[in-house]
Every structure is written in structure tokens, then in C-alpha cells.
Structure 1
Amino acid sequence: MFFVDTIEVPGLGNRGYLAGGARTAVAVDPPRDIDRVVAAAARRGVRITHVAETHVHNDYVTGGLALARLTGASYLVPADARVSFPRVPVRDGDRTEVDADAGLVLRALATPGHTPHHTSYALEENGTAVAVFTGGSLLIGTVGRPDLVEPRLTERLARAQHASAHRLAAELPDGTAVLPTHGFGSFCSSAQHAGGSTTIGEEKASNEALTAPDVDAFVAGLLAGLDDVPAYYAHMGPVNAAGPAPLDLTPPAVADAGELAARLAAGEWVVDLRNRVAFAAGHLSGSFNFEAEGQLATYLAWLVPWGKPVTLLAESPGQLADAQRELARVGIDRPAAAAVGGPADWVRPGEEPASFPRATFADLARRQPAAGVVVLDVRRASERARGFVDGSVHIPVHALPGRLHDVPDGQVWVHCGSGMRAAVAASLLDAAGRDVVAVDDAFDAADRAGLTVRTP
């Protein structure tokens, strides 16, 4: 008998896996906070003998090297991946025994496309594939992005994704469980699809790589659907290739109100992790709002200038610790400082917390048209292409820090698709001294509210 445990990383939209038998196991694409993987192995009563990477990751810092060193496991990395540390180079067809008593073997399958060296691993039980760890190759309903390595390789890798998907479909039984790393909200996925589990047989019927009429149609559709790439991705590959530094989750230094003011004056980022309703009602002037419950790591790492000191404000020690863990997964290793409490604790004596109003699209409809009202859409271009409020200005939230000067004068009503990114944008504008209203509403409500929604 075998088992497969999923290590969810919901903030990044990824998964890692622990698979094995009664005594030993392999960890595939583990997150940087490897204590979670070690705990999963302890619950199973197994020893981790192997750690396997499907590719050098572009969207998070891997825990693979640290886990291999901690456990003494063999570290399986695709042979063609350029890395600076000792590992077991894996080539197409290589077979690795995971648990002899259970008849479990890991078979490497070259599946280039997401990266040139990408490798999937079929978990075989007594010679029959029962699961396949597909990393950024075959995902649920789609495939991993082919444009994260080098622009000149994008079309070639897109064609390789098609071939790799078809190879998996042809070589593996229909009942084989497909276990991807990406595709659960990660920007490494070329599209987002609902569903948490799938098989080779199900993907044959629904995956765009396997249902497209031909490779040219697939590639054209894949390339046309590619969205913006988070800026921090440029740093993840080099960090992983060099070998990530050991993870340090010890609590950061505590900052008082005076130090917070000094850090803001120095141009550092002070990030408030509370929910957007609480932030709008009252916050430290100059601070930015990135909700701990949202895609904190993705959007903060995307927007903050890489390497700039970040100080965290949290409502509880638990919220701070969770945020620190999530940020470390994308290389924001050590907060410069932190404070726990609320706005009254973070402002200096004699100062008052700042605030700004929240609204709905119905509120906006009652204001338009009105002189001095600016509607700012901070969604991605692909979202705006499906419809936008007539007369709105478009600056995606990830571009806003460098384009604040492009926002027209007037009271800025900022919206996104649901409210979370609008809150980030509103905090940026508020910190810059703009008169801002955060539209905390689903975009679908814009049309119902009577606003004119157009398409390009």
C-alpha cells in the first residue's frame, strides 16, 4: 500500500507532496518551510529518503535542498538544471526505489515546456503507475506557463508543453492520479481552473493541451492567454539555482511608534496585515495594506522594490508569525521590524490614525458623472479586456507604485475584481496624499448598479 499526502501552500496557489509506503517516503517540490513536511512524515511514521524537484522553480523558494540536508535524503534534480550544489542528476527513464516493501518506484519522465529541463515523476506500485507528479507540466485543465525562462524560448517551450502533455497521456494509465505543483492560484499556471483532483483519463477529456485540434491551435491559444508575470519571479530561479539560505522564522525586532515613524521617513515599507475594512477605518499614515488572509506573498513580493526593508504591523502574534512564514516562501526572509496591536499603538503621542472611505459600485453610480471623480481600475489587462467601467483609468495594481503620477487629479475611486487589490491600491494612494475611496465590491456589481460597462 502507498500513500500520498498533499502539502498545501494556498497563499501561493501551489502544492507539495509526500508519498511513500509503510517505512520510507519521497517529498516532491517541498515548500521552503520544511517543518510542515517533516511533521507530515512524522504523522505517517516514515523516513524521508528522497527529495525530488520537478524543476528549478520560478515562483517560490524551494525547501528541497534544506530538507535533503536535514534528513540525509538523496536530492533528485533534473540533470539539465544548472544548479550550484551537489545533487543526484535525474534523466529521462531513471528509476528510484521509494519503498521496496511496498513495491514503490519513482520513474522520471522528461516533460519540457514549463522549463527546458522540467521532469515529471510517475509513482509506480509493482510496475503500474498510480500517480504522477507533474510539477508545472500537465495541470488541471491546462499546463504551466512557457514564458518564465527566456522570451526567445517561449514559443518553443509552448510546443514542448503540448508534446509533454501528450506523452503523459499516452504512456500512463487513465486511472493515474495527476498531482501538479502549480495551478491552484499560482501565476505559474497558464490559466486557472476549478477542481482539486484529477486523473490522466479526466485530463484527456478536458485539458486544453489534449483537446486542442492541433499543436498550432494550442500554442496560439496558450500564448494569447498569458498574463503579467510577477516581478519577483526574476529572483526566484537564481535563488533556487544557487541553493537557498537556511530559513529563519525567529520573531523580528519590535518597533515602537517612534521607530515606525523613522522607518516611514526613511522610505521603507511598513505593511499593515489587518483586513481591509479595519485598515480603511484607521491606520498608521504612510503604511500599506496587504491583507494577511489574501495573496499576501504574491502581491507584496510583486510590488515592493526587491530588497527594500519591510516592517510588518499585525493585530496578533499569530497573524505576524503566519505572515512571516508566508513571505519567507518568496524570499522576503527577515522583516526589518514588527509591531502588534492596532493604530492607536502605532501612532506617536498627539497624532491620529489616518482613514479613508469604502464604497460599492452602487455608491459610485450615484456619484457619476461628477466633476473631479476619477475611476481607477487596478485589475490586470486580461480582466479589463472582459469589460470595464466607461471612462475609467487603467493602471494594474502591480504597476501603480511606479505610476502614481499617472493618476489624474481628483477624488480617486479605485476598484479591482473583488476588493482586495483595490485596498492595496487605495493604501498606496492614501500614503501618497491622494483623496481616495476604496470600492470594496465584486466587479459583476458594476453593471447591475447602472454603470456603463464596455469592452475594448
Structure 2
Amino acid sequence: MRVEVIETSELGDRSYLVHDGRRALVVDPQRDIDRVRALLGRLGVRCEMVLETHIHNDYVSGGAELARVCEARYVVSAHETVDFARFPVADGDRLTVGALTVRVLATPGHTDHHLSYVVSDGDGPPAAFTGGSLLYGSVGRTDLVDEARTEELARSQYRSVRSLAALLPADTRVYPTHGFGSFCAARSTATPDESTVAEQRATNTALTEPDEDRFVADLVGGLTAYPAYYAHMGARNRAGAGPIDLSAPTLVDPERLRERIAAGEWVVDLRDRAAYAADHIRGTVGIALGAQFATWLGWLIPWGTPVTLIGEDREQVAAAQRQLVRIGIDRPAGQALGTPADLAAPEERGAYPVVGFAALFERDPATTTVLDVRRPDEWKSGHIPGATHVPLWELLTRLDELPAGTLWVHCAAGYRASIAAGLLARAGRDVVCVDDEFAHAVALGLTDQAATTP
């Protein structure tokens, strides 16, 4: 039995392709299934089964479409209400794919009907595909189904993980879907490339904490905000998403670009944040293409707003487009290629200063405000006295609350601050972007005591 990992680092998730040399199954595939099909082709194996551990909240699944094009069985919990044909399974069921045997185990907690799949070929240790249940060092969060049921589901999660770990042999290899930066994880932990049940028994918080009440209180107390686009993923996955179109978006000329900006559409500049700060088209939104691009665009944009992408070249736009289909933004309204100088007149362009934390010593507190856009837990651990705190995802709905004058905006490392600075400039505010590590502010003595306490 061979397990191939298909990494989606941008969303902090993994999918898996398991095969016996001829026949294969795929666990929790992402929407862009061309990656899976290419791997099947390279390995020379046929996909005969697609397994979903749960109805996902952080991405649009490619499971239904992969099963259709491969003429494979689409395995989904029998207890889930869905609009598509599936091969229904429940706790204790056993399936076969070539030389592989699949055992279905109910592991509720992350969702009500979450399943884990234990795959073996009778030769060597089995592999447990645990979705959003048993993660490396932690578990999946339990507040996505219904916030009012967070504690109830946390208790289910605790019991599921402990039952699973007790049931499986110590050398069972563990392959979670979430936990590699995904907001579906209850908390961030060190994530090794691989792990076993024995290692998790020694390191996983759900398995090392013997008191259920303490575990639940710690899990619930540590939950932070999750992206707003999650609200749309469950319904899309219950409907069963169809094929995607990754062909190049329509080219938009400068005149149409101006019209879209004037209409309030989102025109998103994908360039590096320093380049955006130095020169950008007024009214655009700067979200540098990188690992967090789709997460922050999907979190901030009013859902359903048309998106036009500005890239330096077609490859940059194509990379952004692939990230967006994974969260259900299927087609950009268009693309524009080139620099601001190529696409707009000088009077249509803007810029704002970028500084480090040391520059805060030189600002005038009477006419400027430090704006901290980090998470609430980051703020509580330490912040700059006198700063205003508005988490980035709340910024657009709280613009009227911000003090007058120039806003010096910072986060923990610069990426979120750069997005916030662009949004503030778009709203007509004078802004300075602090592109620096918060640890530098601590070292300079700019923060309160909480931040400087080891």
C-alpha cells in the first residue's frame, strides 16, 4: 500500500491518494482535481473510490466531480443530507479497492457525522485517514456546525479521538486532512510530515489530558475567529460542486478597469506588498499573491462581489485563480496585466509610506494613531499602549470608528497590515504601513508589560 500526499498549503490542508499499484482511492480531494488526475496518470493507477471524511467548511470539495470523471464510488456518510448520488456508509462498514480494505469508523466532533477511514492491505501497518478529527498534536475545531453546540461537539471530539486511538494499533500511520495551517484546526501546533498513533498518544492534547472537562475548557477557550467564507462552503458541498473552468479570464482594458473601480467592484492587485505601497491604482485592493491570498480575499470581500485580478503576467493571475476556485469563487470577472503605469494615468495612481516599528518614535501622537489589526488573542498577549485595535476582518465594517488623522497600521509580520493599509487608502484615509515583525516592537520597548513577559 502506497500513500501519496497532495498538499494544499495555501489552505493548510492535505488530500491523499492511496493505491496498491493498480487501483486507488482518494481521500478529501480539493476542487482542482486536475492535480489528482495528473498524479493518477503518473502512477499509472485507476481511481475506483473517493472518500469524504466530512462535509467540509473550509473549501469546496472536488469529490463529486472526481468520482464522476473517474466513474468511481463516491463515499459519504449515510447520515449526511446531500443533493447528489453517493455511496452511503456508516460506522463499521468495510469496503474494498483492489488489495486495499477500508474500515469506516464514526468519529463525530468536528462535524456530527464525521468519519475516519482505516485502510490496510494486510502487509504492514494500517493507515488512518482522520479528516478533522485526530490531527497532529490537536483536533479539529468544534464551533463550525453551530456555535451554540461548540462544547457539546468538543466533548464528542474528545471521546472520538480517544476511542480511535485506543482501537488502532500503535504503529498505525495517521493522515489528517486539516491541521497544517487550516483554520479548521482547533489550535496551531507543530506539524510533522507524518505521525503514528503511538506518537499521538504521547503528544496529542486530546490523548494526554485525562480530564474531559479541562480538555473542553481549553479547546473552547482557545478558539479564534475563522474566515467569513466558511459560511458558504457547507451548502456548496452538500449540493455537490461540478467542474471548474481555469481558462484565462477576459482581458480588461484601462477604461473598463476604471469603470469597475468606480462601480465599487473589487479590483485586486496581486503584486508584492512593497510594490503595491510604492505605486498602485487608486481604488484597487492590494492582496499579494501568496499562501494566505485566497483566505484573506475570501474573508474580506462582500460575498458575490465581482473580482477583477491585476497581475504582472498571466501566470500570476492563473495561480490566484486556482486558489480562488478552491473557496468557491469560480470565475474572475476579468484580468488586467502589467504595472500601474501600464494601466492608469499618473493622477489615477497612489502610494503610501512603509516603515519599521522604530519609526513610531518619530510620529506625532496628536495627529496619528497606531492601528493594530491582529487577532484578539494576539492583542491580549501584548500590544502598543494607546493603539486602536480592529482585527483585519472587521476593518471594513468599522471604518467609521477609526480616529481622525493618519493611521499607522501594523500586524505581526506585515502581510495583514499591508492589506489593511490598502483598504484604508481605498477608503480615502491617510495611512502608513508598518511592515515589520512585532517582536521588533517588543525589543524596542514599544509594547506593554504583557508582551515583554517571557
TM-score by length of 1: 0.97
The letter for the 1-side match of 2:307 is V
Distance in 2 separating the partners of 1:260 and 1:372: 34
* Counterpart secondary structure, 2:280: coil
The one-letter amino acid of 2:294's match is A
Instruction: Quickly say closer, same or farther: Cα 1:325–1:292, change in 2 above 3 A.
Output: same
Matches within 5 A, 1:195-234: 195=191, 196-234=193-231
* Residue of structure 1 equivalent to 2:236: 239
Aligned to 2:296: 299
Instruction: Give the superposition deviation at 1:352.
Output: 4.7
Name 1:139's counterpart in structure 2.
Answer: 135
**How far apart are the structure 2 equivalents of 1:191 and 1:341?**
40
Picking from 357, 364, 371, the partner of 1:361 is: 357
- How far did 1:168 drift? 1.4
Deviation at 1:213, TM superposition (A): 2.8
Q: 1:335 — aligned with what? A: 332
Equivalence for 1:347: 344
Which residue does the alignment assign to 1:3? Answer: 2
Q: Give the corresponding residue for 2:400.
A: 405
Quote how far apart the aligned CAs of 1:175 are.
Answer: 1.3
Amino acid at match of 1:109: L
Match of 1:25 in 2: 24
Distance 2:348 2:285 in 1: 16
SS of 1:389's partner is: coil
Aligned residue type for 2:373? V
Residue in 2 that maps onto 1:118: 114
Per-residue deviation at 1:106? Answer: 1.2
Q: Deviation per CA, 1:159-181: give whole Å up to 9, x if none.
A: 01101110111011111111111
Counterparts of 1:12-161 in structure 2, within 5 Å, are 12-100=11-99, 104-126=100-122, 129-161=125-157
User: Mapping of 1:397-436 within 5 angstroms?
Assistant: 397-436=392-431
- How big is the alpha-carbon RMSD for the aligned residues of Structure 1 and Structure 2? 1.3
**In structure 2, what is the Cα distance between the partners aligned to 1:372 and 1:34?**
52
d(CA) in 1 for partners of 2:190, 2:369: 35
Q: Secondary structure, in 3 states, of the residue corresponding to 2:195?
A: coil
After TM superposition, give the deviation of residue 365 of structure 1 in Å.
2.9
Q: Secondary structure at the match of 2:381?
A: coil
SS across alignment from 2:267? strand
SS of the aligned residue for 1:19 comes to strand
Do 2:22 and 2:44's aligned partners in 1 also have CA atoms closer than 8 Å? yes
Does the aligned pair in 2 maintain the 1:52–1:64 contact within 8 Å? yes
* Alignment partner of 1:384 is 2:379: yes
Aligned partners of 1:374 and 1:413 also within 8 Å: yes
- Aligned partner of 1:395 among 366, 370, 390: 390
Change (3 A) 1:450 1:151: closer
Q: Which moved more, 1:353-362 or 1:121-130?
A: 121-130
Verify the 8 A CA contact 2:28 2:53 in the aligned structure 1: yes
1:125, CA displacement in angstroms? 2.0
TM (normalized to structure 2)?
0.97
CA deviations on 1:216-255 (whole Å, 9 max, x unpaired) are 1100000000111211101000000011132111111111
Contact 2:125 2:172 in 1 (8 A): yes
Cα shift at 1:455: 3.7
- The 8 Å contact of residues 282 and 350 in structure 2, kept in 1 or not, is answered as yes
- Alignment partner of 1:180 is 2:180: no
Give the Cα–Cα distance (whole angstroms) in 2 for the partners of residues 375 and 430 of structure 1: 15
Maintained 8 Å contact 2:382/2:447: no
What are the Cα deviations for residues 360-399 of structure 1, in whole angstroms up to 9, with x where unaligned?
A: 11111332x6321100010111111211111111100011
Q: For 1:347 and 1:282, how far apart are their aligned partners in 2? A: 11
Out of 250, 271, 275, the residue aligned to residue 274 of structure 1 is 271
**Partner secondary structure for residue 225 of structure 2:** coil
Secondary structure of the residue aligned to 1:170 is helix
CA distance in 1, matches of 2:240, 2:449: 48
Q: Is the 8 A contact 1:446 1:453 kept in 2?
A: no
One-letter code aligned to 2:271: R
SS in 2 for 1:235: helix
CA distance in 2, matches of 1:131, 1:173: 10
Aligned partner of 1:252: which letter? P
Distance in 1 (alpha carbons) for counterparts of 2:257 and 2:50: 42
Structure 1 counterpart of 2:432 = 437
Kept in 1: contact 2:372–2:389 (CA 8 A): yes
Looking at structure 2, the residues matched to 85 and 129 of structure 1 have their Cα atoms a distance apart, in angstroms, of 34
CA distance in structure 1 between the partners assigned to 2:449 and 2:420 by the alignment: 23
Secondary structure of the residue aligned to 1:27 is strand
Deviation at residue 351 of structure 1 after TM alignment: 2.9
CA contact (8 A) 1:111 1:118 kept: yes
**Aligned position for 1:290:** 287
**C-alpha displacement at 1:296, in angstroms?**
0.8
Secondary structure class of the residue paired with 1:231? coil
How far off is 1:129 after superposition? 4.8
TM-aligned CA deviation for residue 127 of structure 1: 7.7
CA shift for structure 1 position 410:
1.1
CA offsets, 1:287-335, max 9 Å, x none?
1111111311111001000001011011111110010010000001111
- Tell me the CA shift for residue 192 of structure 1: 1.0
2:190 to 187, 194, 200: 194
CA contact (8 A) 2:136 2:195 kept: yes
